[in-house]
Amino acid sequence: MLEEHLLPFLALLRERRYGIATIRTCRKVVCEFLVFLEGRIGRPEEITLDHWLGYFGIRSRLSSHLRERTLAPGYEKQCRNDLNLFLRYLVTKGIQTKIPLRQKKDLRAVPGYEDLLTRYERFLREHRGLKFKTINRLVDDANRLCRKMVETKVESWDALTPDVLYEHLRAEAQKLGYVALSHAQSALRSFFRYLVRAEGLEGNPFAAILTPTPDVFNQSLMAGPLIILYELGIISARLFGRRARVTAAPAA
């Protein structure tokens, strides 16, 4: 009945560049909900809010019994949003349930930048040969920057100033943490390199914010990658240096 819509729904999520973790959770929640509905309804139009509440009630009790702890509020909210996403997908296919849905915009779609993000994703996949998870992360960071440009009413890449990039990175650091800041910095550097080489961008505004200034935030932008490389060098020296000593011992 509704099982035939699961694979097209997951394919749509991949097309809209949803993360792997979100797609995995959507698959799990939708499959569990469809199993819960077996024997309880005859048609999709008979799905009511009682079925919704009943499924999440059973899910919460099973979690408390098996894991001896309740579901985390954040994870439970994510599961509800994922199931809500599937029900909104059914509405686009002409299947209307009795569960009231609050219509909301797709946060993955950035007006005016869909074609650019699609070309960037194709470039990462075909020319750089990156893994699917890495491509999602890079496109996600580019997606958030495009949304920042829409919010700040920056009309073109030539009009993008280092101040807007600086505020965007500061907001990302406050939201994701300074540990993920180096990843966002690397992703945006890759995105602007693509804009310069493939999209004909004359200047690179991202290069202007890489000059260190006395404030802690900008210093962390420069020091973070250096610290990571330093620690990786120490680990590599221990591993490969130890192998060299072990192999050289019998010859002595």
| Three-state SS letters, 33-101 | HHHHHCCCCCCHHHCCHHHHHHHHHHHHHHHHHHCCCCCCHHHHHHHHHHHHHHHHHHHHCCCCCCCCC
pTM for this prediction: 0.48
Return the higher-pLDDT residue of 199 and 65.
199
Lowest-confidence region among 60-69, 81-90, 207-216: 207-216
Q: Tell me the mean pLDDT in the region 62-69.
A: 64
Return the higher-pLDDT residue of 221 and 141.
141
pLDDT value at position 109?
63
69-to-60, 61, 62, 119, 191 alpha-carbon distances in Å: 9, 9, 10, 45, 42
**Cα(70)–Cα(202) distance, integer angstroms:** 54
pLDDT higher than threshold 80 for residue 31: yes
- In the chain, the percentage of residues whose pLDDT exceeds 90 is 1
**Cα(161)–Cα(250) distance, integer angstroms:** 61
What's the one-letter identity of residue 73?
P
Q: HSE, CB side, 13 Å, CA atoms: give it for residue 182.
A: 11
Q: Tell me the mean pLDDT in the region 65-94.
A: 76
Return the higher-pLDDT residue of 104 and 186.
186
pLDDT value at position 252?
47
User: Which are the contacts of 52, defined by CB distance < 8 A and separation ≥ 6?
Assistant: 83, 99
Q: Tell me the mean pLDDT in the region 44-65.
A: 83
Return the higher-pLDDT residue of 87 and 136.
87
Closest CA to 25 of 81, 71, 68, 108: 81
Structure tokens at 216: 């802690």
Q: Give the pLDDT confidence of 194-213 residue by residue, as tens digits.
A: 888 888 887 777 776 655 55
Length in residues, the chain? 252
Q: Tell me the mean pLDDT in the region 114-136.
A: 81
**Cα(34)–Cα(49) distance, integer angstroms:** 14
Return the higher-pLDDT residue of 122 and 244.
122
pLDDT higher than threshold 80 for residue 74: no
What's the one-letter identity of residue 130?
L
pLDDT higher than threshold 60 for residue 249: no
Lowest-confidence region among 69-78, 168-177, 211-220: 211-220
pLDDT value at position 103?
55
Structure tokens at 159: 């009009």
Q: Is 232 left (phi over 0), alpha (psi -120 to 50) or beta?
A: alpha
